[in-house]
A and B are shown apart, each in its own frame.
Chain A
Amino acid sequence: MENIVVEIEHLKKYFGNNKVLEDISFKLEKGKNLVVLGKSGSGKSVLIKCLVGLIKPDAGKIILLGKNIADLDEKGMNELRKKIGFLFQSAALYDSMTVRENLEFPLRDNKELKKVERENLVKEALKNVGLEEVIDEMPSELSGGMRKRVGLARTIILKPEIILYDEPTTGLDPITSKEISQLILAIQKKFNTAAIIITHDIECARITANSLMIIKDGKSAIEGSFEEVSQSKDKWIHSFFE
């Protein structure tokens, strides 16, 4: 059990009458990718926002890297957050900052870091996503795929143990989508990170998934490897793979 980095039990979240998450449970092992599929509006983003404390769940247990997040104070939560990367759906690059400043932002807390070391970390992160040349550009000058890559670079700069991807390929053309999916795989290999990848892009799921879960009506409808789930006889589940 040492190897479990994420453990979710009976997670529940309602917004007023909107029963978004009813009962979600799963476990994630170190170094593995879990893909979560679900129709849009099914609460996938809410699920991973609960993990990092952006949304407070109504009930259920969330254990990350052995820590129950309900027991953490603000300081403890911030410490834990440094070990968890979050790639937002819109990449969430800070518009008013250059790419370099964006990447330096998560390093702000580390006062001992020398200027050279900071610079090297930024360059290394950009190199990992294959975008060293945009270091001095503004986010508004980048294409959608490049923004995602820079967002990913900002996410991995602290060398997180878990990465949460919110629809990493949505809004990108098929070729760029595939590149991003392969990048996710490459980062998993290189840093041995665990990841939860939220998507409704089957191609992305096929490339990245070690295991797959589908959310339906706020519950996990099925869990298994990509092959198992894709061969499901259930019509509704099968409709994802057509």
Chain B
Amino acid sequence: MSNESVIINPEIIEKKISSLNSFQKGLTDFFEEVSALTHFTIHFFKEVFLPPYEWKEFLKQSFLIGYKSMPLVGITGFIMGLVLTIQARPTMSTFGAESWIPAMVAVSIVREIGPVITALIFAGKVGSGIGAELASMKVTEQIDAMEVSGTNPFNYIVVTRIAAATIMLPLLVIIGDAIGLCGSYLGVNIQGDVSFHLFFLQVFGKLDFSDVMPAVIKTFFFGFAVGLIGCYKGYNANKGTEGVGKAANAAVVFASLLVFIIDMIAVQLTSLFN
């Protein structure tokens, strides 16, 4: 009888082992991905400072990445400011602090919401766009063709796009913030009456350098992350047309995740320095 209790169902063991194996595989895949991404990043820093510099392509990409994202960033920024202001009113009025709304909204937009929301939109539009474009260039052998014709494709395609994304996102965030504040001005005036002059007096009275600077600095990292992940996923896409969709999708997911992680680190660092 005592024997029975030690009999173990082989099926259960098999299941346990296979789940352990898949966990192990997941872990190895994760570290392989991290190592590949690290190499990709190092490759970028090696090439970015070395000639030849592809200025023309860099400017073209800056235009496509930056200028073409402006309408989307503008609209979301405006709605963000407007909604935030309208939502803040009930709470603020219980404390009789309606006059603080502009300052409060301005601080939250400039410090946190503006950069993060814009970066997420940027990841969705530009990150996926770069991912899909590079993946399809890979699938249709355009990257090979470039290499064969004596142009370094990493330098021409990847470096220019990452650089453009790094420089364009901070500009977009500034524009988004500004339009967000205009949205907020409208929100304030839906139920109250504050002159444009007074509104911005309150806004800039409360915003100081220590709000603006860390926020601007982190947007460079957001832009870099979006460009890097888009390029990495596209450049390493699998052959075949399904590789294109996968690359675009993975680019958005990982870039958005990275934006949050960088934001978390940035917040910790800023509070450390203040």
Q: Is the interface of A mostly helix, strand, loop or mixed?
A: loop
In the complex, per-residue mask of B133-145: 1 if CB is within 8 Å of any chain A CB, else 0:
1001100111011
A168–chain B nearest beta-carbon distance, Å: 14
A residues less than 8 Å from B151 (CB atoms): 105, 108-109
When distances are taken between beta carbons in the complex, the residues of chain B under 8 Å from A78 are 150
A170 interfacial by beta-carbon distance below 8 Å: no
> By the criterion CB–CB under 8 Å, are A106 and B144 in contact?
no
Question: Is A90 in the interface zone, CB < 8 Å from B?
Answer: yes
Partner of A81, one of B137, B141, B142, B148: B148
By a CB distance below 8 angstroms, the chain B residues around A108 are 151
Complex alpha-carbon distance, A106 and B147, angstroms: 10
Cβ of B51 to closest chain A Cβ, rounded Å: 13
CB within 8 Å of B: which of A59-91?
Answer: 78, 81-82, 84, 86, 88-90
A207 interface hit (Cβ, 8 Å):
no
User: Which single residue of chain A is at the shortest CB-CB distance from B139?
Assistant: A90
User: Interface size of A by Cβ–Cβ distance < 8 Å?
Assistant: 20
Task: State the majority secondary structure of interface residues on B.
Answer: helix
Residue from A54, A88, A92 having most chain B Cβ neighbours under 10 A: A92
B91 within 8 A of A: no
Contact call A89/B141, Cβ cutoff below 8 A: yes
Of B136, B144, B145, B147, the most chain A CB neighbours within 10 A belong to: B145
Task: Name the A residues within 8 Å of B150 (CB-CB).
Answer: 78, 81-82, 106, 109
Are B142 and A92 in contact, with the CB atoms below 8 A? yes
Do B137 and A86 touch across chains, with their CB atoms under 8 A apart?
Answer: no
Residues in B whose Cβ lies below 8 Å from that of A195: none
Residue of A at shortest CB range from B144?
A54
Please state if A95 and B148 are interface contacts (CB–CB under 8 Å): no
Nearest residue, chain B, Cβ from A86: B148
Q: Contact check: which of B133, B140, B142, B149 meets A106 at CB < 8 Å?
A: B149
What is the size category of the interface that chain B forms with chain A?
Answer: 10 to 19
**Which residues from A are CB-within-8-Å of B136?**
95
Nearest CB of A to B156, in Å: 9
Contact A81 B144 (CB under 8 A): no
Determine how close the nearest CB of chain B comes to the CB of A182; give it in whole angstroms.
24
**Does A226 sit at the interface, judged by CB under 8 A?**
no
> Is A184 part of the contact surface with B, judged by Cβ < 8 Å?
no
**Shortest beta-carbon distance from A115 to chain B in Å:** 15
Residues in A with CB closer than 8 Å to B144 are 49, 54, 88, 92
B149 proximity list for chain A (CB < 8 A): 81, 105-106
Complexed CA–CA distance, A52 and B148 (Å): 7
Minimal beta-carbon separation of A152 from chain B (angstroms): 13
A86, B150: Cα distance in complex, Å: 12
With A82-B150, A105-B151 already in contact, the answer to whether A95 and B145 are too (CB < 8 A) is no
A94 within 8 A of B: yes
Docked complex Cα distance between A82 and B144 (Å): 14
Return the chain B residue nearest A88 by Cβ.
B141
CA distance A108 to B145 in the complex (A): 14
CB pair A95 B141 closer than 8 Å: no
Residues of chain B having any CB pair with chain A under 8 Å: 133, 136-137, 140-142, 144-151
The 10 closest A-B pairs by CB, nearest first: A92-B145, A92-B141, A78-B150, A106-B149, A88-B141, A90-B140, A86-B148, A92-B142, A52-B148, A81-B150
What is the interface of chain A, defined by CB distance below 8 A to chain B?
49, 52, 54, 78, 81-82, 84, 86, 88-90, 92-96, 105-106, 108-109
**18 A-B contact pairs sorted by A residue (CB < 8 Å):** A49-B144, A52-B148, A54-B147, A81-B148, A81-B150, A82-B150, A86-B145, A88-B141, A88-B145, A92-B142, A92-B144, A93-B142, A94-B142, A96-B133, A105-B146, A105-B151, A106-B149, A109-B151
Given contacts A78-B150, A82-B150, A86-B148, 6 further A-B contacts (CB under 8 A): A49-B144, A54-B147, A86-B145, A88-B144, A93-B142, A105-B151
